[in-house]
Structures are given as structure tokens and as C-alpha cells.
Amino acid sequence: MEARAIARHVRVSPRKAGIIADLVRGKSVERALEILKYSTRTASTPILKTVTSAMHNLAGKMEHLVDPKDIGIKSITIGEGRTMYRIKPRAQGRAYRIRIRSSHITVVVHHTGATEA
């Protein structure tokens, strides 16, 4: 059995979020939460929330309690979201474009234990 959670329009660059996603991809949820909790990167907070949400979505589908050790991260994908454009004034009347990028985070978890509902 599997469940997923999606966080959209997260104000983190997809490239920076992908670095954190690579750290936890394929691990158990318990180990992933430990890694994300103690990571100092900005992208770790929204990924932590999305993994937690996916874990609770799976627990809601199951008929019995599930230990986080028995839940594995099947896939975690980082997609490119909307880019906001801003202008930064520069010298001699010039203007530089600033791109503020966002990400879509999708986490799919599955139950790895012997008893499935």
C-alpha cells in the first residue's frame, strides 16, 4: 500500500531542494526524518513537512498502527514551479532581472512490513 503528499509553490529553488531530496530518497521514513530534522539547509523544512504528511496519509489508509520504521520512501521528486520575476535597480539607469524560483515537492511512501492491509 502506498500514499503520497504534494507541496506546491514552495519558495525554494528546485536545484537546492533536489540536493536534499537525494539525501533521503530510498530510505525509511524514520531515518529520513532524522536526516531532515538536523539538516541546516533551508529546503529541508518543506521536505520534512511533506514526508510527514505522506506518512500520516498512509497511516490514515491503514487499518492498524504503522511504525515509521516500516514505512519507506518509494520516490521523492522535485519539480519546477512558477518563477516570479523582479527588477533590481543598478547603476546608470539599468535594471537587472531577479528570478525567484519555486518548487513542487512530491513524496510517495509505501509500507514495507510483512502485514499489509
Q: Are 20 and 105 in contact (CB under 8 A)?
A: no
What are the structural domain ranges in the chain?
Answer: 2-111
pLDDT tens string, the chain, 117 residues long: the values are: 899 999 999 999 999 999 999 999 999 999 999 999 999 999 999 999 999 999 999 988 887 778 888 899 999 999 999 999 999 999 999 999 999 999 999 999 999 875 544
* Superfamily for domain range 2-111: Ribosomal protein L22/L17 (3.90.470.10)
Q: Are 72 and 47 in contact (CB under 8 A)?
A: no
**Which H or E run contains 89?**
strand 84-89
* pTM listed for this prediction: 0.89
Choose among 83, 81, 56: nearest CA to 71: 56
